[in-house]
Structure 1
Amino acid sequence: MIFQKQLQNCPKISVVTPSFNQSKYIEKTIQSVLLQEYQNIEYIIMDGGSSDGSVDIIKKYESRLKYWQSQSDKGQADAISQGFKLATGDIFAWINSDDFYCQNSFQKVAKTFIKYPSLGLIYGDSFLVNEQAELTRALIASPMNYKQWLYGTSSVFQGSVFFSRFAYESVCGIDSTLEYAMEYKLFFNIAKQFQTVHIPEFLACFRQQPRQKSATISHIGLSEFKNILLELENLNTESWSYRSTTHFLRLLRRLKYIKNGWFLNRSQYSKIFQKVTTF
């Protein structure tokens, strides 16, 4: 009820950026938050003690930050968790320091939460970009439901996800012991208890670069994913029944993509990309 009353006005969006030695990318991340056409933003940057010039970039914007620090932490998940402990917003999100938001994303998110105040989580579409922030392809999120999360077939991209503070606290926040699959466990727990909605809009850009975790520790992510399902649902991802169900759901997802025309050609989504990434 309290959350619903807060949403009657302009809900505060709290964004956390975890970072470590990302001076090559972090300024674009910061600008994509601060240049949103949305007034009620609270931005927190948790730097892990960078020595590459990142701190100098952060200091350029410190007057517009709720809080920032540069000191050793226990990893990405710990930095995000500590950042959210400082946050006072109605809506939470985090954006990694090599990714960035699209134009007007926060307005779209706030309008959706105002329209559906009981929502736990909303998610949009994303663009995949290269190291130079040039468009590679569109990442269209698939409809998310409990079963799709359970079988790892829900295409939801972390940078385009926003969730209510109430939902985050209800599931006891992010698991700071995880190195890779912290978003999967958090979103899974929220989706299990709360309604989720897909916004058919591009909300963020996911950058591919050599040092990102998907390129360096994906094996850890796979192990964590298996352990999460064993812990939460007693599911063995190596079993025949699990694998066959996963393949079937992926086929259904692909057929739905084709039916709904979600496979845009490059010229179509290039125009959209140019429009929503120009501040």
Structure 2
Amino acid sequence: MISIVTPSFNQGRFIEETIVSVVGQGCLDLEYIVIDGGSDDETLDIIKKYEDRLAWWVSEPDGGQYDALNKGFAKSTGEIMGWLNSDDKYTPWTLSVAAEIFRQLPEVEWLTSMYPLVWDEKGRAVRCAPRGPFNGDDFFKGDNLPGMGRQATGWIQQEATFWRRSLWERAGGSLDASMSYAGDFELWARFFKLGVLYAADVPLGGFRRYGAQKTGTAPDKYKQEALQALLRHGGKPRGQPAAAIAHGCKRICPNRLKPLMSELHLITLGKVCVFDTDSGRWGVVER
């Protein structure tokens, strides 16, 4: 079973698109939970419209997004977990692909996408640029911090990230509710200490970018919280020259030479899930 939690507060403009993108997946083994923080717009009418498709929902004051998520995950029972904020959306194939990868590749403990989508205010896909692959060594050197520009290998897209319950429980079984912005980044730091992040070679979800969103209006606060979380977990951003050299090696090095570069400790490779159309199965390559 896949458990998805959506936290919400006064997102009546977008939450129906979010809900439909989840319940419209055709995933029979889905547990969908919505935690609303006491909205006073049209949100509750929309949630009630779909309540027969929800495993559980509630509308009451909470301590913010990450407190709401903890409340929802505490009610969940699925083996695979993830969350989708109330202004974001999945692709039509998200849950079927994620479930299949976890089923066929038992070594995968958490999964994201190499192709993060960006939706505009109208819900259209307007950007899809490759990111990653990802690995813990580069993560703790600051390469996935937001705002690193050309020195970054790209953020880990929360909307496209899923994990096994066993990893969640080993990592503490909750998000850090004291954080206001970068609770996802802090969770990734804990996950990286415990397991390898695999990246699917396909888009799995999208972040809606518009002017009034929390992370859109306070990007510096997110960056500050993410950096604090990285330092707290023992990470240390490397300087721009070192980052530029490492990333330049990855970009210009032919794939056939990357294993040698990895053996020489010049680069660190990541695990990528790729689909073989002949066998109809997912496999793993290093890039």
Fold shared, TM-score > 0.5 on shorter chain: yes
1:56-135 equivalent positions in 2, closer than 5 A: 56-124=45-113, 125-135=115-125
Query: Partner of 2:30 in structure 1?
Result: 41
Query: Partner of 2:169 in structure 1?
Result: 169
Query: Which one of the candidate residues 29, 32, 37 is aligned to 2:21?
Result: 32
In 2, Cα distance between the equivalents of 1:82 and 1:106?
Answer: 22
Query: Partner of 1:224 in structure 2?
Result: 225
Cα displacement (A) at 1:131 = 0.4
Consecutive aligned runs of 4 or more in structure 1 exceeding 3 Å deviation:
241-259
Identity among equivalent positions (%) equals 32
Query: Partner of 1:20 in structure 2?
Result: 9
Task: Provide, for residues 100-138 of structure 1, a one-character-per-residue CA deviation record: whole Å limited to 9, x for no partner.
Answer: 110121111111111222322011223212101122211
Q: Give the secondary structure class of the aligned counterpart of 1:18.
A: strand
Task: Judge conservation of contact 2:9–2:36 (CA < 8 Å) in 1.
Answer: yes
In 2, Cα distance between the equivalents of 1:164 and 1:36?
Answer: 20
Superposition CA RMSD, Å: 2.1
Task: Judge conservation of contact 1:23–1:57 (CA < 8 Å) in 2.
Answer: yes
- Of 191-200 and 36-45, more deviation after overlay is shown by 191-200
Task: Provide, for residues 149-201 of structure 1, a one-character-per-residue CA deviation record: whole Å limited to 9, x for no partner.
Answer: 12123422110101111111111131111111111111221122112211111
Query: Partner of 2:199 in structure 1?
Result: 198
Where structure 2 has 5 or more consecutive residues not aligned to the other structure, the ranges are 145-151, 257-287
In 2, Cα distance between the equivalents of 1:257 and 1:132?
Answer: 39
- Residues 257/132 of structure 1: CA separation in 2 closer, same or farther (3 Å cut): farther
In 2, Cα distance between the equivalents of 1:83 and 1:36?
Answer: 20
The answer to whether structure 1 residue 55 and structure 2 residue 44 are counterparts is yes
Q: Give the secondary structure class of the aligned counterpart of 2:226.
A: helix
In 2, Cα distance between the equivalents of 1:179 and 1:256?
Answer: 39
Where structure 1 has 5 or more consecutive residues not aligned to the other structure, the ranges are 1-11, 260-279
TM-score, normalising length: structure 1: 0.81
In 2, Cα distance between the equivalents of 1:130 and 1:227?
Answer: 30
Cα displacement (A) at 1:253 = 5.7
Letter in 1 for 2:134: M
Q: How many residue pairs align between the two structures? A: 244
Letter in 2 for 1:206: F
Task: Judge conservation of contact 1:43–1:67 (CA < 8 Å) in 2.
Answer: yes
Q: Give the secondary structure class of the aligned counterpart of 1:190.
A: helix
In 1, Cα distance between the equivalents of 2:55 and 2:239?
Answer: 44
- Residues 77/257 of structure 1: CA separation in 2 closer, same or farther (3 Å cut): farther
- Looking at secondary structure, tell me which structure has more helix per residue: 1
